[in-house]
Amino acid sequence: MRMWLCDPKILCQKHLCGEHVETHMFLGTLKKSKKINGYLNNNLFEPLYLRQRHEELKNEMKRRGYNHNSDMLIGECLCIFNLSDKELNWKVDKEKSLKDLLDRCPKCYERFKRMKK
């Protein structure tokens, strides 16, 4: 699981829908009080941004005409506050994350190049 945390317009369909599903998976992980240190240490997850990121992905999915039927309610996200201050305030290195994405996915890379024109 990971949050790419780049502009959702860059994401190809696979990465857009995949990251959307993974926001729900992260929420499930937090609700079950599972450890998230590995996700944090590997630049994959930014807890305080979870719900906002879900909304960004949902909006991009709708803009592209994809179906979205899985809202993430504010109340169900309160479980993030069970994290330590360090975990809660963890920040993803967004530049590194974008580089990783563009190195991995030719479709995302092409979308990125088109946006920069």
What would the DSSP string read from start to end of 42-55?
TT---GGGHHHHHH
With bands split at pLDDT 50, 70 and 90, how would you rate the model's confidence at 117? confident
- 55-64 tens-digit pLDDT: 999 999 999 9
Answer for the pair 99, 6: CB distance below 8 angstroms, yes or no: no
Where does 1-117 have alpha helices with state H? 13-31, 37-41, 50-63, 85-88, 94-104, 106-116
pLDDT of residue 70: 93
Q: Are 94 and 6 in contact (CB under 8 A)?
A: yes
% of the chain at pLDDT higher than 70 = 100
Determine the pLDDT at residue 113: 96
- Provide the residue ranges of all domains of the chain, joining segments of one domain with +: 8-116
